[in-house]
A and B are shown apart, each in its own frame.
Chain A
Amino acid sequence: MKRIYALISLLFLLVNIPALQSQENRTVATIVADVLAQMPANNQADYNKLLADVLSTGEEGVLALVKMLHAPGQGDNSKVEYALSGISNYSAGKGDESLRLATSNAYVKALNIVDEREKKAFIISQLQIIGKDESVDALARYLNEESLSDPAARALASIGTEKAVQALKSALLRRSGTPNSMRDVIFALGETHISDTENLLKDMIANRDEDSQKAIFYALSQVGGKSSLNELSSGAEKVNLDWDKTGANEAYIALLKQLVKQGDTQEASKAASELLKKATKEGKPHTRNAALQILLSVEKEKGLKRVQAALKDSSREYRNAALDYTSDFASREVYVELLKTMVKAKPEAKADILNWIGRESQITEKSALIRTLNIRFDLPAGQVILDQLKSGDSSVRQAAVWALVRIGDSSFIPSLANLLTRTEAHDISLGRNALIAFRGDVVPDVARVISSAPDAGKIAAVEILAMRKAHTRINTVLDLIKTGSPEVKKAAYTALKNVATEKDMTLLCGMLETADATAVSPLQQAVIASVSSLPAKEQAPVISRRMLQAEESARHLYYVVLSATGDRNALTTIVTGFRQGSGASREAAFEALLAWKGAESADELYTICVDASASAYFDRALTAYVRSVSTNAALTGESRYLNLRKAMEIARTNEQTNTILRQIGRTGSFRALLYAGGFLDDKPVQQAASSAVMNIALNNTSYTGAEVRELLNKVSAVLDNPDADYQRENIRKHLEELSKEELKPDRTEPFVLSDEEKKEGYKVLFDGTNMSEWTGNTIDYTLQGGAITLTPGKGSGGNLYSKDEYANFVLRFDFQLTPAANNGLGIRTPKEGDAAYVGMELQILDNEHPAYKNQRPYQYHGSVYGILPAKRGYLKPAGEWNTQEVIADGDHIRVTLNGEVILDGNIREATKNGTPDKREHPGLFNKKGHIGFLGHGSPVRFRDIRIKELK
């Protein structure tokens, strides 16, 4: 909420102080304050401007900001942190080295002016991203200090220059740190990859705790060279070439990789080869993989023999790791040799190599090379892979198939199509999947193999023809319908719609009219497909004509086809068919009505729903009606809601209610929101109602007010689904946003008295433009958006008083409460002390809030606190503006809230037997005093304040 206030107050500053001082005249403090008020910047332009502004003050601005940092728990640092991190990012990103340097130097100074660990850590975190050599000395001071060695060491690691390394090294040499701070330093050294600390680190290995050993091993693996081999290899052996908390094994492997990088390949190879042997012997497959990777990274093509040996290994993991590492250097020759190896290999290894070849050919840079491989001058690689389709091992066949698809040479298509003629189901499905994923024209070969394929192969083939919409092969499909087994026939019927064209229409219609029950639906689809390529206008007439020519018993078969044309006349035919038909014909017309794609069927569907004689159709008609009105893009949300509400009125089951509620939630209508809210207490449909309310409310920020809040709170309580926590969080955020929205200014013009009030002699105490009539706590009570706005700081918010004193008067004003807000209107009160006792307090309170349900009437809103009770129930919901009039005439007090007199009494009479609250009210009968707003810690706003003094 504060952010919004800050923005609003800023706007006011801009509007009300036209004399915006020029940059030079503003003090550093003013500039910093201005920038802080605008943090966080809303966009890059503002961001750049604000930060350029504050950086114009040089280091002074940075230091001023740093001084504003609070220690943890002592205050909100967020604005200062926005400003400082903005300064860092802006200085470093501008590409202006002098700017970066100045900021970094300012941070260096700032480190000296703050004490607390968290403040220093924050500054160091900024140096970590923007500091360079200028900050090294300052950071180095913390390296031996346990509480800050961690951020300081990390910052130096990020800086990573020679000077940073020397600072880290000196910290080690000083040996004055704690074991933890030393460890921080060593890890940081490891990050820098600069090598002159190797001997120093080696000397430190002995007698360390696990974490420190880990640091040293790691650092040596990064900065070390040949001379660290012994230390790290014995470290790795101690842990049996496996993982442990000190990371010794990994450090040794990392060192070997470093040696390769540094060019010490012989030593690296020798050591890796040893490691490979030992890891094999010790049964450490992962370490063995790592050793192999190092060896192959040195040997490259020369390591081919090693790869071939690995492929004979019984471990699948090892074989595949070897192939993976081979990718880094695989040349034409390597591929050829490994394909030769494949031919002779055992089935498992065969599959591994073929899978690898497949993956390799997916790499853009390699695909052309692999496609043109020849094993011998007369033997293309593709042939060797094709041969594997004959393998007795299904995993080999599978790997070969996918390698072929990925290489993608169209000469492979016939062999892949031949898979459909095999007897094994696995081969047929493999062939089918390969062919549909194959880039190229597979249709001729698929059609070719159909006659020789078993039923499963025929089915697969016809599916492929359908997927590729092979219009030229409709006769093949029709043949299968004639000659195939029942399963094949079924698949062929299903495929028809994808291969049919307009010239097949007559034939298909003939088939439809004589079809058996199971073939009707696919044939209707096929007719629909064939007619769909005709111009839209011709479709329905063509079908209608055909319908009339058909025998009476077959005519109803065309209703669904008519429906698909979307033609209005066709709809009339269908409706008539339903109303006048009977039996199968009526049922078919109804189905056609359900299948109607447009919104035009909605009226007829609703008519069926309410027609008692058509009750057998009720459920399906209602579902279709709901779908039709909800998907009708021509309807507004409001009218979709009204149509859905009609459906709700006749819904019979919870399932129907739920379906309707789901659609209501998509209308976005305010009335729909309230309507859905009415179902929240009905357990079986509660979840659908919750979603509906939530969807509408959360997508429409303009839907505000107490009803919406209440419904959303209710939804939050009943939501029950796996995402409920997310949704509740969403609702909470939304409600928070709503409060902000509701507090936004809604008044831009100054308040002016009505003619009547002018005549009666009212005086304006606040018109929305200035607070000149007011005094007291003007820090928490500020002018925002045309209202006196209390944004309580740390305490209760304090009190604001009129400058003048008033005795008898009529006071009129508007006020706005936040939920559970508490404030008070002081009258005839001095400017010090508790106005409820030293003067008189007229309660201002959101007493509709459950928090106040146990209050006494003399504490209700409007009551003279502790003395005279008021009537409850006339406040507007929190967030809305209330209008109040207070008459104080001698002992007579009258309060009118939103037009209702809620208090009308005499304070002297009320206290003749003592005060009702049994407390002393020494100021109750003051003759005069100030008017005050009495803060009790809640945000509240006031506006349009005017007063008429009574003589």
Chain B
Amino acid sequence: MTVLTIVPRHVLGKGFIAPSDQLTKGIIGTGEMGRSHLNYAGTRLVAVCDVDKSHLELGQKLVADKIAAYHDFRELISDPNVDIVHIATPPHWHGIMSVEAAKAGKDIWCEKPMTRTIGEGRRVMEAVRQYGRMFRLNTWFRFTDTFYGLGTPVKPLKKLVQSGLLGWPLTVTISKHTGFDWKFYWVGKEYLEPQTIPAGLDYDLWLGPAPYKPYNLHRTHQTFRGYWDYDGGGLGDMGQHYIDPVQYFLGKDHTSPIKVEVDAPQQHPDAVGTWRSITYTYGDGCRIILWGGDYGDPQTPYISGPNGNVYKNFVCDIPGWEKKLADYPEPEPQVSDFIESVKTRQPFALNERSGFRSATIVNMGAVALRLNRTLQFDPVKLEFINDEEANRLLWQPMRSPWNI
């Protein structure tokens, strides 16, 4: 019997991976979401971090080995034993932590939504590139698995769309009727009584870059999703899952919509509310429409083009489409193993650039909802056109000492 000795990477020097060496990971945020990151195969968990003691203890118990446990994420990202930093905190931390991890020379596996503002997303993109890091966003429908209630993976949709059989431009409708549910129970409460901060929770560090507001349990743990300071409700929480594959099959990974329109009740400045529809339009006329709750026409197709429609379960109404489609190429395979990406330094399928674009769709919607008006966007300059207020939401200064 051979005894395997695993040499930690830092002993061999950074940037060098021994062939036998298994990569290591550290998880920031060991709530329910973060703990599930243990299951992402190919790496060995060596460190966990959480600002809530009870979560940190759960994180430590994830593996039988003794692993490092940190209160402050900066200790984790500067731990030489950690190769890949997993970020599973609420979204108001995603940007900072990704950028700091990049500065520390780590590769990054970040939860969705990538960031909670467009400005932060830009910084992540710049920092990851500047330091030559590998980044993956944790949603996977563009390259694997059946795409929520749609009843098909994305690959055949991509093939059909890129064949041009449906014509152009296309309109994609994401709604309950087409198999997607905007989780509207992630709304916030407009009035929160201040409460005593529980022992074991470092609320100041939990808030981090977010404006100080008196503690209430509902702001933290899973329900944080209902507050604009930290996330954006069902749109923030589920948006990238649903929208990213659409961006992929429309071939829009390098650009953004030029307009966003909303139909919604007025939003509270702190608590996220519900909405009826959000409509994005690209420069070439393609549209992505989100319908909340039961809003919209139940007979609506998922994809609609001048020459045909695609419904749930990949039902297409073009006569003989299967035969016609046989003449067209399959979509190219994608790099869908992040560990392979890290080792070969080839960008992951959903990386900081494509991820930034799909997060931008989510974040454009959030700004339009909050301001309750139609906004025009410049997909090159990455800012709203002639709307200073909207641009101030796009780039929000942070509570010191946090910045990005």
B295 in contact (CB, < 8 A): no
Instruction: Give the interface segment out of B57-65, B109-117, B166-174, B385-393.
Output: B385-393
Known: A40-B268, A89-B372. A286 touches B330 (CB 8 A): no
Known: A285-B15, A290-B131. A190 touches B392 (CB 8 A): no
Q: Return the CB mask of B13-29 against A: 1 if under 8 Å, else 0.
A: 11110000000000000
Contacts of B184 in A (CB 8 A): 733
A85 touches B269 (CB 8 A): yes
Q: Return the CB mask of B87-102 against A: 1 if under 8 Å, else 0.
A: 0000000000000101
Within 72-96 of B, Cβ neighbours of A (below 8 Å) are at: 74, 77-78
Q: Chain B's nearest CB lies how many Å from the CB of A78?
A: 3
Contact of A316 among B273, B345, B399 (CB under 8 A): B345
Q: For residue A254, which residue of chain B has the nearest CB?
A: B130
How many residues of A sit at the interface, in one of the four size bands? 35 or more
Q: For residue B393, which residue of chain A has the nearest CB?
A: A129
A293 touches B129 (CB 8 A): yes
B401 in contact (CB, < 8 A): yes
Give the number of residues in B that approach A within 8 Å (Cβ atoms).
Answer: 71
Within 256-308 of A, Cβ neighbours of B (below 8 Å) are at: 283-287, 289-290, 293
Instruction: Give the interface segment out of B42-50, B259-267, B357-365.
Output: B259-267
Contact of B214 among A118, A318, A725 (CB under 8 A): A118
A16 in contact (CB, < 8 A): no
Instruction: Give the interface segment out of A151-159, A585-593, A673-681.
Output: A151-159
Q: For residue A728, which residue of chain B has the nearest CB?
A: B185
Q: Bound complex: CA of A831 vs CA of B288, how far in Å?
A: 62
Contact of A78 among B263, B268, B344, B401 (CB under 8 A): B268
Q: For residue B186, which residue of chain A has the nearest CB?
A: A729
Contacts of B326 in A (CB 8 A): 467-469, 498
Q: For residue A399, which residue of chain B has the nearest CB?
A: B346
Q: Bound complex: CA of A405 vs CA of B332, how far in Å?
A: 9
Q: For residue B346, which residue of chain A has the nearest CB?
A: A355
Q: Chain B's nearest CB lies how many Å from the CB of A191?
A: 5
Known: A77-B191, A89-B371, A243-B100. A129 touches B392 (CB 8 A): yes
B191 touches A437 (CB 8 A): no
B372 touches A44 (CB 8 A): yes
Contact of A43 among B191, B263, B273 (CB under 8 A): B263
Q: Chain B's nearest CB lies how many Å from the CB of A874?
A: 36
Contacts of B387 in A (CB 8 A): 93
Contact of A725 among B103, B211, B222, B370 (CB under 8 A): B222
B321 in contact (CB, < 8 A): no
B401 touches A286 (CB 8 A): no
Q: Bound complex: CA of A316 vs CA of B389, how far in Å?
A: 44
Known: A130-B389, A242-B104, A253-B130. A214 touches B212 (CB 8 A): no
A289 touches B131 (CB 8 A): yes
Q: Return the CB mask of A470-481 against B: 1 if under 8 Å, else 0.
A: 000000000000
Q: Bound complex: CA of A737 vs CA of B328, how far in Å?
A: 49
Q: Bound complex: CA of A324 vs CA of B345, how far in Å?
A: 11
Q: Bound complex: CA of A155 vs CA of B7, how far in Å?
A: 50
B319 in contact (CB, < 8 A): no
A436 in contact (CB, < 8 A): yes
Q: Chain B's nearest CB lies how many Å from the CB of A300?
A: 17
Q: For residue B389, which residue of chain A has the nearest CB?
A: A92
Which DSSP category, helix, strand, loop or mixed, fits chain B's interface? loop
Contacts of A290 in B (CB 8 A): 130-132
Query: Most chain-B CB neighbours within 10 Å: which of A187, A438, A498?
Result: A187
B401 touches A283 (CB 8 A): no
Q: Bound complex: CA of A321 vs CA of B347, how far in Å?
A: 11
A249 in contact (CB, < 8 A): yes
Q: Bound complex: CA of A439 vs CA of B400, how far in Å?
A: 53
Contacts of B103 in A (CB 8 A): 243, 247, 249-250, 286
Q: Bound complex: CA of A247 vs CA of B78, how far in Å?
A: 12
Q: Bound complex: CA of A497 vs CA of B166, how far in Å?
A: 25
Known: A214-B403, A293-B130, A437-B330. 10 other contacts (CB 8 A): A73-B194, A78-B190, A93-B373, A151-B211, A186-B400, A215-B401, A283-B14, A286-B132, A316-B344, A317-B15
Give 17 CB contacts A-B under 8 Å: A77-B191, A81-B190, A82-B268, A121-B211, A125-B269, A150-B399, A151-B211, A154-B211, A211-B400, A283-B15, A290-B132, A316-B344, A320-B346, A324-B129, A433-B333, A469-B326, A733-B184
Task: Spell out B's residues near A (CB within 8 Å).
Answer: 13-16, 74, 77-78, 100, 102-105, 129-133, 183-185, 190-191, 193-194, 211-214, 222, 254, 262-271, 273, 323, 326-333, 344-347, 370-373, 386-389, 392-393, 396-401, 403
Task: Spell out A's residues near B (CB within 8 Å).
Answer: 39-44, 47, 72-73, 76-78, 81-82, 84-86, 88-89, 92-93, 95, 118, 121, 125, 128-130, 150-151, 153-154, 157-158, 180, 183-184, 186-188, 190-191, 211-212, 214-215, 218, 242-245, 247, 249-250, 253, 283-287, 289-290, 293, 315-321, 324, 352, 355, 359, 363-364, 395, 402, 405-406, 433, 436-440, 467-469, 498, 725-726, 729-730, 732-733
A-B residue pairs, 10 tightest by C-beta: A78-B190, A321-B132, A289-B132, A286-B105, A469-B326, A243-B104, A211-B401, A40-B266, A85-B269, A320-B345
